[in-house]
Structure 1
Amino acid sequence: MTVRIRADLDQLPAYVAGRTVAGSLKLASNEVSAGPLPGVPEAIGRAAADVHRYPDIGAGLLTDALATRLDVDRNRIAIGCGSVALCEQLVQITCTAEDAVVFPWRSFEAYPIMTQIVGATQIRVPLTAGHALDLDAMAAAITPETRLVFVCTPNNPTGPAVRRAELERFLDSVREDVLVVLDEAYREFVTDPEVPDGVGLAGRYDNVLVLRTFSKAYGLAGMRIGYAVGPAHVAEALRKVSVPFSVNAVGQVAALASLDAQDELRTRCAAVARERVRVRDELLALGYEVPETQANFVWLPLADRALEFSEHCLDERVVVRAFAGSGVRITVGDTTENDALLAAAKSFPLNG
């Protein structure tokens, strides 16, 4: 006999991270090439002297700093071990096996994993022909059993963001007892003025919560710091189900230091946005289909050729993120990295 494990876990998909290959450029995980913001490594160094102490379980200083910067009540903020941990906690606090979660597909691959772990029903809503969220279809997919809706904007891995008019129309249509989560992991890269700031919407709608992260634009992917802004009772529930001390002390210090480097953050994000336009334009000129994107990546809907393209890029010492049978997500790096990617894309037999 062996120890019994839940039988349904045999069907649980594994989260697939972007590969790291020695000697190759990594454009697979949407990390920023420039590294941590100024002042952050020094803050991390100072914090290292106290790693024998437990971290502040409530991340009080970081919560206060975010509350001030976002102009929201601190009781509406919950800090998590990356926004992905908060995704899991959101499913835990809203759903049982009798409930349902609505999310777009394809979108962030953690959504179905977290939903299945709880045993809730997954309601996957296909994207539009332009690889964007279909909010009308998502609204129609909400059932009496629905407790949670994920709206990923910009959408990972395809790139389009939801604009204000369609998002507000959607939010107006959702029942008040359904929590709508605006997953804004890539918010800092958005340049389209019609894409709203979710924190403002969370202040207007009592059933809206926003997820943000320090992993992307802030360059702290290895520190695992994310945060939620939403109704105070939801934030309180998130704190209740979090793993104690999961938000580590060094990460808290690094996030605080990052908040003090807003000028450099804006400069970096602007540089990514410029390169994003260049990369997309050149890929379009080569004959690729590339949806519009407001994130720090582009999406190539190559369908059955996704893995072939990924292996071709790897042969050219560029690592991208392939989704078998669907497409390829490519991080927008610095100019040199992007030039290498474009050279690999040019040598791929697109019509072969």
Structure 2
Amino acid sequence: MNQLLFQNILSKFPSQYIKFAFAYGSGVFKQLENDPKKSNSMTDFVFVVDDSIKFHDENLKMNSSHYSFLKYLGPYYLSKIQNDFGAACYYNTLVPLKIDSENFLIKYGVVSEDALIRDLYDWDYLYLSGRLQKPVRMIKKPLRKPLPETGSSTKTLENQITDDLDPNQDNIGINVNYSFESVSKSIDLALQTNLKNALHTALLLLPEKFTLFELFVCITSLSYSGDFRMIIGENKQKVENIVTPQIERFVHLYKPYLIKETFENHLTCNFETGKLTQSLNQHTIYHHLSLLPKNLIQTIVNYKFKTTHFYDLEEYIYKLTHRVDYKDIVREAVTSIVKHTSLSQSLKGVLTAGAVKTVDYSVRKLKKMVKK
């Protein structure tokens, strides 16, 4: 794996303000019926920054062409648009990069560390938290400048960022020639909490008996439920196409939390056969409901009980535990969060991308959908 590529990518941006970054999607991991090695494949990145205003200020100097007409508003208002609208993430799309005489096409989002942590813990938007419920490639900055690499062969971006990596480990991307700083403890804890949030939610939606594949399909579908782009612009088999070739990566992500649930007698899991059985008694249902992220459980209460008065959250969770339709209630609450976020973020994307790139990006999505 050419770790130097990661550093070359970050060097094109104000990396001094990037706490860490990750790459995701079909441009990084193989999906069924998708070939990320094609020259027109776009790779998605997210840059987590500690100061959005300073990042945009410097990025405007380095990469003004990446921005739409909004660049004329200046870094302060770019930061306001980033944080106050949609999912608190500002995307520049269809950005061409030239690295070592090779041309790449990327899309990158900018999010503040605080906003990301809130979404991971509470599912304020279920947007980037949804991305991080699936395998991604963590990119970490070097503490010292990496040595030049010699004799490297020409590869696609997908080749260079996926070779010899172990998904979502603390040492991901670490090459023996480099020394990397860890993601901050606060982000590490938030990432772990997000995975647990996804597992508890999925277990509430699943029947007594299911498979690891069905579990991961359920988890992956959470952030797509209610997304209008799944009706127009996305392959209808997208979720299955994501999960099928990545079962081992999903197992690697969720195995510690599945083992914990097994120890606590909430389920049994056989990793060899891929079969699971969970308890559906009220004690276990209450256990999962009480560990749902803040925004999801509040959405459930507001949606089902329609109260604007002060309420004891524990009391409503207890009431929900005794309802036969608790699965439908949880599912509808997830859909509600995603529906609102996907619409507002997409409308924001029209502004941040500009008219030409919006049309180009939409045509690409529609071509993929028709093709599949």
Do the structures match in fold with TM over 0.5? no
With the length of structure 2 as denominator, give the TM-score of the two structures. 0.26
Bigger helix fraction:
2
